[in-house]
Structure 1
Amino acid sequence: MPEGPSLLLLKEEAAAFAGKTIIQADGLAKIDMARLTGQRIVALRTWGKHFLIQLPHLTVRIHLLMFGSYRINERKESNPSLHLQFDDGELNFYTSSVRIIEGVLDEQYDWTADVLSDLWNPAAARKKLRANPDMLVCDALLDQTIFSGVGNIIKNEVLFRIRLHPLSTVGALSDRKLRELVEQAREYSFDFLRWKRTFELKKHWLAHTRQTCPRCHIRFSKGKLGKTNRRSFYCERCQKRYGDQSELDFSNDSGDRQPVRERSRKGKTL
């Protein structure tokens, strides 16, 4: 599933169509295509994983889902979900969800929840997290009302970067750890965008789809975790699990901490 940074790149690539008039609209999507024909594109915007084509009286919302794609000024052999024709080009979206949004767009979206937006509000994100103390952090990062634009790659990489186990509960995190989680959700998203622009994103993956922890040199654990049931890749040694005392404990919360296993009454390491 394309994540927020990929949608920003799509907006940049399609920027030339802003201000242009749609001369033909068709495709497999079950929307009234006639409402789009003859309309001028007021703006191209994104909110998290949504690509928004703003017209004078409505907005076309496109979500690329798990396997969606797009083509600009070219076509695939398969039929598009949405084809927009202009005098000097075309936009095509495949295997995508296409919907019409009525009314004022700013009343439909909370721009402060978008981790890549200039309006991003980290304090609001922390407040939303504290209101859900039982939520697992692997689910929290994928909650688009809190971290709009964060997807599974960013989730895995952020949790590895801040040494946080995906099955930790939000309410068990210290204020410092909660702040770190929120900060890195945004910082890694911009790293993702920068690496994606230079076609070297996968080279920088430290956890996602990897087999071995680059810090501990042991095999990663992996599984579909949380209510979101999305793939997680994590290290049981250096990613601390908060909220379960049976897991590894750490002597401190610094980036250089070393794991200290629980000890039995006889002083033997368990």
Structure 2
Amino acid sequence: MPELPEAETVRSQVEPHVVGATIIESWAKTPHLTSPSVSEFIERTRGQKIVAAKRRGKQIYFPLENGDNLLVHLGMTGKLSIEDDSEWKPEELHRHVHGVWRLSNGKRWVFTDPRTFGELAVSRDLPFLTKMGPEPLDEDFPVEELVEKLGRKNVKIKAAILDQSLIAGLGNIYADEACFRARIHPETRASAISEDKLRELLGHMRPILEEAIQGRGSTLKDGGYQDANGDYGTFRPQMYGRTGLPCVICETPVQRGVLGASKSARSFHFCPSCQKL
């Protein structure tokens, strides 16, 4: 969290305020979330015109006039916001502010991240683009190719569709939603699912993501995600985060499970009646 819909919402909201503007002042402070270094990040972004606002999967990036790219990963609680510019001092900023860019159009661009799992970076190359698989919003999303690849995977289906090298952009929330709409238990082995059922699963992904983008993303009980305007997302998952609540189809209580162990563990949510293992 945030996932593709949240990243796309933020990208589209900041785009009209930053594209075409020049960064007249750049500031960052947190070494572990700023690369290559705080000083190099500031040096390579200051004075640069922002030529586009792009996204791939969950990653937002802004090509600059000098050929570099300013990358922003929201992590768990990162937020990009646009404000009217005014005089400010670094020591007066809230402690959760980790990046500020003053723009030539009178706006100020601010990155906050309470849990500091996000990332700010400047890079000439974008290696993640070649490592990511297709995303469900692509016009040429290769359903038949993915049916074949999933059918060969002897891993649990939720783990398979969370693999960003296979399908870009899905995270816990929307993977659970896709499994629920296809009535597939998240722990079912991908290789054990029929081709027709895999097509159905893949076919649900685009509508789910489009619905979530229409709702400006999904904000869970922790309130961690806010869009660039400071508003909460209005998309309400039918499965994720609803442990113990009635299934929207059959009213059986939603259950929660865990895939994997330790730091790599991922939760999943399912209806034991609608999604039998």
The runs of 5 or more residues in structure 1 that have no matched partner are 242-270
1:23 alignment partner, SS class: strand
1:190 and 2:190 aligned:
no
User: Which of structures 1 and 2 has the larger relative contact order (alpha carbons within 8 angstroms, sep 6+)?
Assistant: 2
Structure 2 portions without partners, runs of 5+: 86-92, 218-231
1:59 and 1:219 map into 2 onto residues whose CA distance is 46
Distance 1:19 1:177, change over 3 A: same
Question: What is the aligned partner in structure 2 of residue 19 from structure 1?
Answer: 20
The 1:73/1:128 distance shift into structure 2, 3 A limit, reads farther
Distance 1:74 1:154, change over 3 A: farther
For 1:195 and 1:20, the matched residues in 2 are separated by 28
Report what 1:114 is aligned to: 135
1:158 and 2:178 correspond = yes
State the match for 2:266 in structure 1.
230
Hey, what's the Cα distance between the residues in 2 that align with 1:110 and 1:127? 19
* Preserved contact between residue 55 and residue 61 of structure 2 (Cα < 8 Å): yes
1:20–1:123 distance in 2 versus 1, CA, 3 Å: farther
- Equivalent position amino acid for 2:274 in 1: C
Which one-letter code corresponds to 1:83 in the other structure? V
Residue 46 (structure 2) pairs with residue 10 (structure 1): no
Matches within 5 A, 1:4-153: 4-16=4-16, 17-27=18-28, 28=30, 29-30=34-35, 31=37, 32=40, 33-56=42-65, 57-73=67-83, 77-87=94-104, 88-95=106-113, 96-103=118-125, 105=126, 108-109=129-130, 113-118=134-139, 120-131=141-152, 133-153=153-173
1:35 shift after superposition: 0.7
Partner of 2:223: none
CA distance in 2, matches of 1:3, 1:53: 18
CA contact (8 A) 1:134 1:170 kept: yes
**C-alpha distance in 1 between matches for 2:257 and 2:150:** 24
Q: CA deviation at 1:221?
A: 1.7
Letter matched to residue 222 of structure 1: R
The answer as to whether partners of 1:73 and 1:91 remain within 8 angstroms in 2 is: yes
The number of equivalent residue pairs is 237
The AA in structure 1 aligned to 2:143 is P
Q: Percent identity?
A: 25
Deviation at 1:106, TM superposition (A): 8.7
Q: TM-score, normalised by structure 2?
A: 0.77
Partner of 1:180: 200
Aligned to 1:252: none
Alpha-carbon distance between aligned partners in 2 of 1:99 and 1:173, rounded to the nearest angstrom: 40
SS in 1 for 2:215: helix
Letter in 2 for 1:223: G
Residues 202-243 of structure 1: CA deviation (Å, up to 9, x unaligned) = 2xx2212222222232222212224652221111221032xx
Matched letter for residue 215 of structure 1: I
Superposition RMSD in Å? 2.5
- More deviation, 147-156/188-197: 188-197
Higher Cα radius of gyration: 1
